[in-house]
């Protein structure tokens, strides 16, 4: 088994987009110290919430939340090269393995794709030879869950090429589950690196179909002919939840048709998905979503949704901008923002006295401090790498 030595969810660049990195060095060093203290407090909170018998975190979606807890510990900026894997991670890993199913999925009862994607990503960060077959089976499970509805081999259904939760009889796909699955599949390619001819027999994701699904969720009429695409320039390049459903607002187009408005968290998921699917930054679809994200940049709300999904937004923002190697945001009014410093300051200001984070707006389980604390610890862990 050949896996990268670096943490697999970190794909950060070091070059400054606008040449300002050097001038920020002193400020960043102070901020990094504050960040490390905040992470330490957050991890102590997670330690206090781990089930001492099973190793799991969370009672609702325990596989997914346990996986997020593992990733939080593995991205801890206070860990040094050569440090042993934390005991909390070893215990939690056993819980994930105990829920591996014969079909390759890693889940308790439902939402097989969602849970398996996060579990596989977590296992890849603590790779052990004895767990290789579990990881390979999880990869196969995810790849074979890509939808191909109606006539096989044709993109004749809006959901074709996508991946959903996995408990909906194959009739659902969305950008949130899509990005989790694509991330796990992308990094698990490392499992095949030393397999030689055997790797040729592994099932492969249909990336052309995946890209087709992703672009059908983008408000961009040049590449998406769906009737719901907004004619408002303010929506151009952004994303919605899936090709037939939004979690955001609706608006009437000039021709009377109903359009679906772009919103922040899922637009960052769209950028990530394009990258994991193999598109380059000069692709017009990628450039369009980056422009939308820059025009709507804020750390005060989830654009288009307000407080709803705000911490998922912070987490996905951190991952997407880091993975896209974007160091500075240039807003539509000409401001240049060091987003890592801006986001770090905001997140540390929201930390509670017990080290946790939670959203007063409880939509999508964001009132759960274990889930939300994991989101933010992962965001801070990624930021620290190049802050």
Span 22-208+219-386 CATH architecture: Alpha/alpha barrel (1.50)
- CB-CB contact of 134 with 100 (8 Å): yes
Rounded distance between C-alpha atoms, residue 103 and residue 93, angstroms: 19
pLDDT of residue 169: 64
Rounded distance between C-alpha atoms, residue 188 and residue 104, angstroms: 14
Residue in this structure with the two tokens 């860990």, named with its chain if needed: 79
Domain boundaries, the chain: 22-208+219-386
Burial classification of residue 130, based on how many CB atoms lie within 10 Å of its CB (0-12 exposed, 13-18 middle, 19 or more buried): exposed
pLDDT of residue 24: 59
- Cβ-Cβ contacts under 8 Å for 30 (sequence gap 6 or more): none
pLDDT of residue 87: 96
pLDDT of residue 26: 64
- Cβ-Cβ contacts under 8 Å for 304 (sequence gap 6 or more): 238, 248, 249, 261, 262, 263, 264, 296
Rounded distance between C-alpha atoms, residue 49 and residue 72, angstroms: 14
pTM more than 0.85: yes
Mean pLDDT by 10 residues, the chain (387 residues): 47 36 66 96 98 92 97 96 94 98 94 96 95 97 93 86 82 94 96 85 94 97 93 95 84 85 97 97 97 97 95 97 94 92 97 97 93 98 89
pLDDT in tens, 165-210: 987 666 899 999 999 999 999 999 999 988 887 888 899 999 999 9
Rounded distance between C-alpha atoms, residue 262 and residue 218, angstroms: 8
Rounded distance between C-alpha atoms, residue 264 and residue 5, angstroms: 32
Distance of CA 378 to the CA centre of its chain: 10
- CB-CB contact of 97 with 116 (8 Å): no
For β-strands 336-337 and 250-252, DSSP reports them as unpaired
């Amino acid at each position: 088994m050949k896996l990268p030595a670096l943490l697999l969810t970190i794909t950060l660049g070091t070059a400054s987009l606008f040449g300002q990195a050097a001038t920020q060095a002193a400020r960043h060093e102070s901020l990094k110290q504050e960040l490390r203290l905040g992470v330490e407090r957050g991890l102590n909170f997670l330690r206090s919430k781990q089930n001492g018998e099973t190793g799991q975190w969370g009672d609702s979606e325990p596989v997914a939340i346990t996986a997020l807890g593992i990733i939080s510990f593995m991205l801890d900026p206070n860990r040094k090269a050569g440090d042993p894997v934390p005991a909390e991670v070893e215990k939690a890993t056993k819980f994930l393995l105990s829920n591996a199913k014969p079909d390759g999925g890693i889940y308790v009862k439902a939402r097989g794709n969602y849970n398996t994607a996060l579990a596989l990503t977590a296992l890849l960060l603590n790779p052990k030879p004895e767990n290789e077959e579990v990881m390979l089976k999880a990869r196969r499970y995810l790849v074979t869950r890509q939808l191909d509805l109606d006539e096989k081999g044709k993109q004749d259904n809006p959901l074709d090429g996508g991946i959903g939760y996995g408990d909906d009889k194959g009739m659902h796909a969305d950008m949130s589950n899509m990005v989790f699955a694509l991330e796990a599949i992308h990094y698990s390619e490392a499992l095949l690196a030393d397999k030689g001819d055997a790797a040729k027999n592994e099932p492969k994701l249909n990336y052309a179909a995946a890209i087709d699904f992703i672009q059908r969720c983008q408000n961009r009429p040049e590449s998406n002919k769906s009737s719901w695409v907004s004619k408002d320039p303010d929506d151009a390049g952004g994303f919605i939840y899936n090709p037939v459903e939004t979690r955001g607002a609706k608006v009437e187009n000039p021709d009377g048709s109903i359009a679906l408005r772009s919103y922040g968290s899922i637009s960052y998921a769209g950028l990530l998905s394009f990258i994991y699917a193999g598109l380059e930054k000069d692709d017009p679809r990628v450039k369009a979503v980056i422009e939308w994200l820059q025009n709507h940049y804020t750390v005060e709300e989830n654009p288009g949704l307000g407080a709803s999904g705000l911490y998922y937004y912070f987490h996905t923002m951190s991952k997407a901008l880091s993975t896209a190697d974007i160091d500075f945001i240039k807003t539509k009014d000409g401001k240049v923002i060091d987003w890592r410093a801006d986001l770090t300051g905001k997140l540390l200001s929201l930390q509670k006295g017990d080290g946790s984070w939670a959203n007063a707006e409880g939509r999508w389980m964001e009132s759960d401090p274990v889930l939300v604390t994991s989101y933010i610890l992962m965001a801070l862990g990624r930021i620290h790498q190049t802050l």
